[in-house]
Structure 1
């Protein structure tokens, strides 16, 4: 973000303020991810994958919505067990890995243009 903040454009100022404020609020409520405080960039990643699918590793999985669980109602469940049928028609491509460094380089490069 420091690199983006140096750009001093309307977009860079907005993004650095927004990210900074979001991280402050996350810290205030005690949120922390596995190793850092932050948030995911689902929408920008989806756009980046539409432009360059090699950013992610996909796996065809059966995914269902849990409708009966007391703690999991409404959650999606991906069946990664090896016994699932190869002829299953209900498979969807699920992202199981992201080249996050390459994605962030692409994302920051796009933001820095403005």
Structure 2
């Protein structure tokens, strides 16, 4: 079920990314797609019945912490990319007065 939900989130983000006419909306849709990809990855590596790796539990099946660490890294990188994209968007707005893709392409600025 998690895989279907995360796939739906990815599709919604990609649909919004393809159909957005505004730079800020494109950044938001990119973040939605990233969240869906992280959910998909964690849904794939999740296995029922495994417990968290805590010292003192003997004989239990543990969850692999490596995918979780990789997804935390992906979240941090995504936040950095988002802040950079928003900063560039603000700079473009102050410079050219618009955030519409069509206007920026028409002016030859991008």
Which has the greater radius of gyration?
A: 2
Q: When you count strand as a share of all residues, which structure comes out higher? A: 1
Q: Could you state the TM-score of these two structures normalised by the residue count of structure 2? A: 0.26
Q: Could you state the TM-score of these two structures normalised by the residue count of structure 1? A: 0.25
